[in-house]
Amino acid sequence: NAGVTQTPKFRILKIGQSMTLQCTQDMNHNYMYWYRQDPGMGLKLIYYSVGAGITDKGEVPNGYNVSRSTTEDFPLRLELAAPSQTSVYFCASTPGGDIQYFGAGTRLSVL
Amino acid sequence: GQQVMQIPQYQHVQEGEDFTTYCNSSTTLSNIQWYKQRPGGHPVFLIQLVKSGEVKKQKRLTFQFGEAKKNSSLHITATQTTDVGTYFCAGRAGSYQLTFGKGTKLSVIP
């Protein structure tokens, strides 16, 4: 049982490039979330999904897009990367909206 | 929108001393959760409190939820070096979303 798996673990992007952060969970959880964590700033919600085909914006959605075509996968797309998107990105899932299980994170630098 | 304030931001203690972090919400919460994040790691769930005035214990950790369900605290008795990390509270106010505090970074001096 792998839990929540995120890839890649590290990535360096140039300004203006695009990339997709992958997140997959094998726990059959309906709810999935994307957070970003900046130093000393806690976790901020980017997007979330309550089930396949349903997504909604969180606190800081600008510059990002998501899709949820299956229960297992919840990729996060960065279009036109900017230095302000340098952060650590965490994906999380939960069966019923309570306890959140986090992936190991993706450390992204935009230079 | 909902805000969750957490203090202190940093705490340095001598091993064996006690540690407390406090969490305050701008709105009444349906529940509050606590997570621990080790340096370089990801947040790991510790506990969830749901009832007004609830107190839960996990070995040396004591968690409290305020009577008004707007504040919470985590107290660690006799800290150990294994307690090092950042402790986050996260509150839910009836939606699918959790609002995280900024965390308290605990350093333990051996």
* Chain A CB contacts of B90 below 8 Å: 43, 100
Cα torsion angle, A30, B95, A61, A92, sign: negative
Q: Does residue B87 belong to the interface with chain A, where contact is any CB pair within 8 Å?
A: no
Rounded CA-CA distance B69/B19 in Å is 22
pLDDT interval class at B70 (50, 70, 90): very high
Strands (DSSP E) along chain A, which ranges?
A: 4-7, 10-13, 19-25, 31-37, 43-51, 54-57, 64-66, 76-78, 87-94, 101-102, 106-110
Confidence of residue B38 (pLDDT cuts 50, 70, 90): very high
pLDDT in tens, A48-85: 999 999 999 999 999 999 999 999 999 999 999 999 99
Instruction: Check A104 against B41: CB less than 8 A apart.
Output: yes
CA torsion B48-B89-A26-A20 (nearest 10°) is 160
pLDDT at A83: 96
The tokens for B46 are 């510790």
For tokens 């999935």, name the residue.
A32
Q: A89 — contact with chain B (CB < 8 Å)?
A: no
* B88 sits in which H/E element: strand B85-92
CB–CB contact A100 B43 (8 Å): yes
pLDDT confidence tier of residue A1, bands split at 50, 70 and 90: low
